[in-house]
Structure 1
Amino acid sequence: MWQLQSVRLPLPFYSPPRPRPSRHRLLRPATSAMHSRASSTPHQVDEDKAKLDDLKQRQAISYHNQTKHSLTSGYARGPRGLDWANQPNPFLRFLSSPLLPLLHLPPQPGDSPLYSSLFSSSPPAPPQPLSHSTLSRLLYDSLSLSAWKTTGFSTWSLRVNPSSGNLHPTEAHVLSPPLPSLSANLPFLAHYSPKDHSLELRAHVSPDLFHLPSGESSFLVALSSIFWREAWKYGERAFRYCNHDVGHAIAAVSIAAAALGWDVRLLDGLGHEDLHCFLGLDSANSSLPPQLPERPVRGRFPWIESQHPDCLLLLFPFGKPPTVDYQSLSAAFSGFSSLNWMGNPNSLSKDHVFWDIIYRTAEAVKKPLTVGEGFSVNPLHASGLISENLYEKISVREVVRKRRSAVDMDGVHAMERNTFYQILLHCLPSGQLGPGEKQGKQFALPFRSMTWDAEVHAVLFVHRVKDLPQGLYFLVRNEDHFDRLKMAMTSEFEWARPEGCPHGLPLYRLATGNCVELAKQLSCHQDIASDGCFSLGMVAHFEPVLRERNAWMYPRLFWETGVLGQILYLEAHAVGLSATGIGCYFDDDVHKVLGLKGLEFQSLYHFTIGSPVLDNRIMSLPAYPGPSIDA
């Protein structure tokens, strides 16, 4: 039987060649021959579109390869040190926008279901009407501050939705029907300000211009990213981390909504330009210049602080899916340029570093309007439950607000085997299935918010799980990929079902052996990857997805890893442990361990779960009111 060695890798590491920087000119405006030749034949138009699509796919792949870390040949390009004088303000504000205060509603006994029951009932909670109170609670339980931390002369805030490096590039905007005490007469579009848990009014929207699907029973939440806030610390790899954070935010909104009896679905037929109009970015942000520098440069670039539209979420009562016409939505959003937009964004930094490949890639992966896809909502499936006794008696609201990223783990605690299996059951996209059905369709919370079949799997490094041998395991989250995964990986892997594994959990043991040092080594030598009960790498079906769907699937693969990561965070806290997302790992060295070659499958995110070690030098303060200082 093929076994892992305690310290050595199963195969020697090698030095993958460092890819050359991309020179693809996918700049605004993105043009091709099909845009400039009105007399082109249909065949020429199709051919030109295929060439442009191929160029965009190659740009996404080039970015992915260029931003890999390597054990032997170094890390992706980033700043050599942290420029503290230009650390971006973590709070975007729209100066002079009217404030719409939200209610502060800390968790109370009985005001939300137990976390353990969230995934087992249909719907998870009776749908509550949209109101000032319920909108306040949704944002309070998904995107608000969760605490302030202080030590010495430093003070910083934490949020309910996690972020790599606590940098929080993700912004949220709400389009709501009229609500008493907020905007009684007209639908309103507002930016969410987590620092003071309020809405900054951006515009009123006349019903003549736009009608929300299902009228007063639904509303919209848009997510956007400010790349600079992440790139300040992480350089070129920041685009990956921004999209991890979008996924975490999608899941955070989905879980908070479910506790209110609301369902969430991506409006993924819309395109980037639709979201750009929806957010009024032309009136709020400096546009990108027609030509961008072709290398990283430092200077004063106000457009670097612009928001990049990511996605639009539709929230509605469970069991009452609205009708959505993407063509009509797109046409309505195109008229938002005529709105009376209020407020201008604050400046985040005095100077900037322009990491050119981030913006070239963001341009390449913009999604077009795809009205042909239509809008549909998957049936809700419960997730598997071994026993409610595996969880602490804690409510959904308590779990989401107490979630923290561990900075250290004790390296001692061993998890019960059924607890390990239970966590993985809640990581399955399809939930409980009938005989003969396979995992793949996204039916379960919170994965049902996404519009594609699951593309992300998990390779697990099991360190300390009672009655489960140490070693390498694999969770297949889309069983249509099973044969391809077996063919792509090392032929000596066992692919054996571990003892006691519940029926319906597609978990396989690949190899036994102590992989503590291996997990640490692969995750950039970080102890936290080896000191927990287990760690994992999220392995995505990669290049075939980009070729089949197009380059705009590239960020969505990272969104899926972020949604999965959010469940791992919540599951860990609900069983009395902690977790941490790991964005720093040696990409191709992970692939080498698995025997993966080429780009069919790629590791996109790492995670670890274990017993946290608290730093008593750091004091925790309530989220609201926080210290009266600007970060």
Structure 2
Amino acid sequence: MWQDWLSQRRRKSPVAAAQQNPERPRSGNRQPLTLRLHAETAQTAGRLQTMSTDVDWSRQPSIYKLYPTVARLALTEQIDCDFPDTLEVVQRLSPHAALAAPAAWNLETLSRLCYYAYGPTAQQALPGATLTLRAAPSAGALYPAELYLALRGAAGARNGVYHYAPGEHALELLRPADWIAWLADAAAELPAVAEADAVFAISSLWWRTAWKYGPRAYRYCLQDCGHLAGNVILVAAALGYTATVVYNFVDEPVNRLVGLSSAQEAVQILVAIRADRAYRPPPRGAPDQPAPLALESLPPMQPDAAVDAILPAAGATALREPAAVQALRRCPAALVTETEHRQLQSPDQAPLLRPTVPVSLCQSLLGRRSSHQFKPAPLPGDALSAIIQALDVAYATDSAQGALELVMIVIRVEGVPEGAYRYDAASRGLILERAGNLSEWAMHLSLDQAFCAAAGAVIFFAADLGNLVQQCGDRIYRNLHLEAGLRAEAAYLVAHALGVGCTGIGAFYDLETVRFFNLPETTAIIYELAIGTPA
């Protein structure tokens, strides 16, 4: 019984228990490659003890990619800040929500889209260095994601495929002409792509994170891409546009279009944006096969053993034909648990909690920072409710939603008894699984990071990863990590608007967390958020 296991754990320190019960990855040649990498990179007390803490900072790659030989289109330097309230925009993500009048589709609007999604927003002084922070969070501020976009019909910008250079706040033209029909073919003729005015392609440059974090960096790279995709759809909604997240597409044509070698960098997710709500038939037929791009990019890539370890799993997620794309879109979401109403603490429903002074989305994008210190003061219960609603918000996508579930440890939240909970999306309530002060567990499961014990709550994303990958294929592994980052981004920004501290955590004791919440053994923890009163 799980209660017996938990009582045994309480009779010894969490660290000692972890050392006596090591978490071993499954073995076997038939195990899907993504599940194998996930198991091999699971955090355990034993692995942490043998892991070197020395970081060779001389090996750190630049966080900026540039194409020095291509034409560069400078974007608007003066960025105004007149977006709607953050909480209003998050609610607007619903595919059925009413949209504001769309902004003019022109170069100034493109500037806002790119800057608020991924532009540099602050500089932080460190011993011997200055750290540049961006609108989207990133594990270790390493920023492995790159932003590309295919444009059509934007005043002041010729049709083409571009790379966004954040350091210069400029678009670098990689290919002229309208290539959106080509992307629609890769997306198995998804109407949202075929009718789009822009398609954002978000890639991951593996080396930029793997040099520091090793093969587990694969998870962080995907989550970072999800955070960036979340910003793109939120900024698009603030501009009155329709945005659709596209998880499933044939990979090779997309990578070829933007000139990427998947052994170094590969597109992970697309966001199709329709600026004009008036229907117009999309152009028929894709352009001819794109010629190979022989463009120099800086800095040059370097070999890395950690990247080599990532590539088999990353390659296994690739889809190779439209039929595979369509089949994956039909694959149902498998839930981790069934609803059992033991004790229900219903969070407030709609609308989301409004701050006394409304905070615009651009203020949240510019001001959002990860909090690594919390005051041991209780969070308002409606703040937790608003953050949970942001994590559960519906948005337009080509993929089934609902495979990610939320479990959490509530430590100090007004009106919510401390304990371990599961969020039931059907009733939009919290189901109590275990009562009591679990702050020590919140800290321990989060790799013994002390600030988590002072949090108001720690929230874990869980998924039935074993069954989902077996049923739907390796691509679902990639999609779940992307979706976790996207949903976490909405929560990050809502937390900022409410004055709540928030930080994403990609490293935790994987299997111990599954066992603590009494989840099936096929379950995996995908991501973690800690929220609390900022110090």
Name the residue aligned to 1:303: none
Residue 267 of structure 2 corresponds to residue 309 of structure 1: yes
Name the residue aligned to 1:466: 414
Distance 1:9 1:144 in 2: 50
How do 1:177-576 residues align onto structure 2 when only pairs under 5 Å count?
Answer: 177-183=152-158, 187-205=159-177, 218-281=197-260, 285=261, 288=263, 306-317=264-275, 332=287, 335-337=289-291, 341=293, 343-347=295-299, 352-371=304-323, 373=326, 384-386=349-351, 388-390=353-355, 392-410=357-375, 412-429=376-393, 444=394, 447-449=395-397, 451-477=399-425, 479=426, 504-576=427-499
Deviation at 1:585, TM superposition (A): 0.3
1:523-582 superposed Cα distances (whole Å, 9 cap, x missing partner): 101012222211111111212211221111111110111112112211210101221111
- Over 3 Å counting, the alpha-carbon distance change for 1:509 and 1:324 in structure 2 is farther
- Over 3 Å counting, the alpha-carbon distance change for 1:80 and 1:278 in structure 2 is same
Q: Which amino acid aligns with 2:71?
A: P
Indicate conservation of the 8 Å contact 1:79/1:234, yes or no. no
Indicate conservation of the 8 Å contact 1:21/1:66, yes or no. no
Residue 24 of structure 2 corresponds to residue 18 of structure 1: yes
Deviation at 1:308, TM superposition (A): 1.5
Unpaired segments ≥5 residues, structure 2 = 185-190, 330-347
Residue 144 of structure 2 corresponds to residue 169 of structure 1: yes
Residue 73 of structure 2 corresponds to residue 100 of structure 1: yes
Deviation at 1:515, TM superposition (A): 0.8
Distance 1:598 1:388 in 2: 36
- Over 3 Å counting, the alpha-carbon distance change for 1:409 and 1:374 in structure 2 is same
1:142-195 superposed Cα distances (whole Å, 9 cap, x missing partner): 111111111443101001011111111000101111444332xxx111100111
Indicate conservation of the 8 Å contact 1:463/1:470, yes or no. yes
- Over 3 Å counting, the alpha-carbon distance change for 1:278 and 1:387 in structure 2 is closer
- Over 3 Å counting, the alpha-carbon distance change for 1:534 and 1:6 in structure 2 is farther
- Over 3 Å counting, the alpha-carbon distance change for 1:611 and 1:189 in structure 2 is same
Indicate conservation of the 8 Å contact 1:177/1:215, yes or no. no
Distance 1:593 1:239 in 2: 25
1:399-427 superposed Cα distances (whole Å, 9 cap, x missing partner): 122111112222x2211112222221222
Name the residue aligned to 2:339: none
Indicate conservation of the 8 Å contact 1:8/1:518, yes or no. no
Name the residue aligned to 1:62: 36
Name the residue aligned to 2:332: none
Indicate conservation of the 8 Å contact 1:113/1:395, yes or no. yes
- Over 3 Å counting, the alpha-carbon distance change for 1:455 and 1:359 in structure 2 is same
1:468-513 superposed Cα distances (whole Å, 9 cap, x missing partner): 2111111134x5xxxxxxxxxxxxxxxxxxxxxxxx4232111110
- What SS does structure 2 have at the residue aligned with 1:473? strand
Deviation at 1:118, TM superposition (A): 2.1
Q: Which amino acid aligns with 2:218?
A: F
Name the residue aligned to 2:333: none
Distance 1:151 1:353 in 2: 28
Indicate conservation of the 8 Å contact 2:87/2:494, yes or no. no
- What SS does structure 1 have at the residue aligned with 2:314? helix
- Over 3 Å counting, the alpha-carbon distance change for 1:348 and 1:527 in structure 2 is farther
Name the residue aligned to 2:342: none
Distance 1:231 1:264 in 2: 31
Name the residue aligned to 1:140: 115
Distance 1:385 1:208 in 2: 37
- Over 3 Å counting, the alpha-carbon distance change for 1:198 and 1:407 in structure 2 is same
Indicate conservation of the 8 Å contact 1:101/1:197, yes or no. yes
Indicate conservation of the 8 Å contact 1:5/1:513, yes or no. no
Q: Which amino acid aligns with 1:373?
A: Q
1:255-307 superposed Cα distances (whole Å, 9 cap, x missing partner): 011000112223445211121222122xxx5x75xxxxxxxxxxxxxxxxx21
- What SS does structure 2 have at the residue aligned with 1:74? helix
- Over 3 Å counting, the alpha-carbon distance change for 1:208 and 1:531 in structure 2 is closer
- What SS does structure 2 have at the residue aligned with 1:539? strand
Q: Which amino acid aligns with 1:223?
A: I
Which structure has greater helix proportion? 2
Identity, % of aligned pairs?
24
Q: Which amino acid aligns with 1:312?
A: L
Indicate conservation of the 8 Å contact 2:160/2:179, yes or no. no
- Over 3 Å counting, the alpha-carbon distance change for 1:197 and 1:236 in structure 2 is same
1:95-114 superposed Cα distances (whole Å, 9 cap, x missing partner): 21211101134343xx2211
Distance 1:539 1:205 in 2: 42
Distance 1:309 1:387 in 2: 33
1:182-232 superposed Cα distances (whole Å, 9 cap, x missing partner): 32xxx1111001112111111112679869879996111101111111111
Distance 2:51 2:268 in 1: 23
1:425-469 superposed Cα distances (whole Å, 9 cap, x missing partner): 22224xxxxxxxxxxxxxx2xx43452222111111111111221
Name the residue aligned to 1:51: none
Distance 1:319 1:540 in 2: 35
Q: Which amino acid aligns with 2:130?
A: T
Indicate conservation of the 8 Å contact 1:114/1:393, yes or no. yes
Q: Which amino acid aligns with 1:606?
A: E
- What SS does structure 1 have at the residue aligned with 2:534? coil
Indicate conservation of the 8 Å contact 2:102/2:275, yes or no. yes
Distance 1:476 1:205 in 2: 47
- Over 3 Å counting, the alpha-carbon distance change for 1:104 and 1:269 in structure 2 is same
Indicate conservation of the 8 Å contact 1:268/1:311, yes or no. yes
Indicate conservation of the 8 Å contact 1:92/1:348, yes or no. no
- Over 3 Å counting, the alpha-carbon distance change for 1:223 and 1:78 in structure 2 is farther
- What SS does structure 1 have at the residue aligned with 2:10? coil
Distance 1:79 1:88 in 2: 20
Indicate conservation of the 8 Å contact 1:68/1:75, yes or no. no
- Over 3 Å counting, the alpha-carbon distance change for 1:6 and 1:406 in structure 2 is farther
Indicate conservation of the 8 Å contact 1:97/1:342, yes or no. no
- What SS does structure 2 have at the residue aligned with 1:126? coil
- What SS does structure 2 have at the residue aligned with 1:345? coil
Name the residue aligned to 1:299: none
Distance 2:52 2:180 in 1: 49
Distance 2:422 2:276 in 1: 33
Distance 1:513 1:6 in 2: 16
Deviation at 1:320, TM superposition (A): 5.9
**Equivalenced residues, count:** 499
Q: Over aligned residues, Cα RMSD in angstroms? A: 3.3
Q: Which amino acid aligns with 1:605?
A: Y
Indicate conservation of the 8 Å contact 1:174/1:190, yes or no. yes
Deviation at 1:91, TM superposition (A): 0.5
- Over 3 Å counting, the alpha-carbon distance change for 1:580 and 1:390 in structure 2 is same
Indicate conservation of the 8 Å contact 1:538/1:561, yes or no. yes
